[in-house]
Amino acid sequence: MATAHDLVRTAIWARELAEDEIERARRGLSERQFAKGAYICHRGDRLDYWTGVITGLVKISAISRSGKAMTFAGVGPGGWFGEGSMLKDETRKYDLVALRDTSLAMLNKSTFLWLYENSKAFNRFLVRQLNERMGQFIATIEQDRILDPKARVARNLSWLFNPVLYPGTGGHIEITQEELGLLAGVSRPVANRSLQALEDEGLIRVEHERITVLDLSRLAVYEG
């Protein structure tokens, strides 16, 4: 199993960092485990770490004023999140839930800010990441009321395959239909039917505890 220490070597944001910067990042990293269903952070809490998923799956969601649950993103192994709260010094504006047993790498705030101030490579990564999230966020807003369940499943799937946010995933991810249902905000049977329909349309291939994406570009803009 990969540890937080090893992770620095493979983390996407560390690829272009200088040796001394990597060493600095390594010292600021710690590791924490979360059981399936556990809250990593509630909305309004202060969480002074930039967080990366080593193993497992995390849902980032919020409750709208009307009381409706809304998923912003699912984050799988290799994904990092929370840079917004680091830079703005605010409490979290969303809930973080571990959808399955999850191991997280946590970079403390002072180290994060040091990299932010001193590393040009780290800043390049942050810009790419924030830009990518912006696109996803906009898609999320229209998803909530416009799209049918099948399209929501399709888009949530495409997020998990985003090559900028999760470069590790080589075409397929391991996720159960129940977990995908939790992410997309649909029941498991609906997730099941949606996946079968998407497979019929040649966009994905459904296997046991695993989904392979055949046409990511179409999946990302799927509207039914």
Q: Tell me 9's DSSP state.
A: H
The yes or no reply on residue 154 touching DNA (CB under 7 A) is no
Least distance (Å) between residue 209 CB and DNA = 5
- Which residue stretch of 51-59, 68-76, 141-149, 205-213 sits at the interface with DNA (rule: CB under 7 A)? 205-213
- Decide: 129 and 80 in contact? Cβ < 8 Å: yes
Nearer to DNA, 56 or 82 (CB): 56
- Which residue stretch of 60-68, 84-92, 131-139, 187-195 sits at the interface with DNA (rule: CB under 7 A)? 187-195
The yes or no reply on residue 160 touching DNA (CB under 7 A) is no
The yes or no reply on residue 195 touching DNA (CB under 7 A) is yes
- Which residue stretch of 9-17, 48-56, 121-129, 188-196 sits at the interface with DNA (rule: CB under 7 A)? 188-196
Nearer to DNA, 128 or 193 (CB): 193
Position of tokens 């059981």?
Answer: 35
Position of tokens 């809304």?
Answer: 70
Contact residue for DNA among 130, 138, 146, 206 (CB under 7 A): 206
Cα dist from 44 to 15, 39, 149, whole Å: 33, 13, 29
Nearer to DNA, 142 or 148 (CB): 148
The yes or no reply on residue 212 touching DNA (CB under 7 A) is no
The yes or no reply on residue 200 touching DNA (CB under 7 A) is no
Distance CA 140, CA 10 (A): 29
Nearer to DNA, 28 or 181 (CB): 181
Q: Tell me 28's DSSP state.
A: T
Give one DSSP letter per residue of 129-195, joined into a string: HHHHHHHHHHHHHHHHHH--HHHHHHHHHHHHT-TTT-TT--SEE---HHHHHHHHT--HHHHHHHH
Which residues lie closer than 8 Å to 53 by C-beta, 6 or more apart?
75, 76, 77, 78, 79, 80, 102, 103, 104, 105
Nearer to DNA, 106 or 204 (CB): 204
- Which chain residues interact with DNA by CB under 7 A? 176-178, 188-189, 192-193, 195-196, 206, 208-209
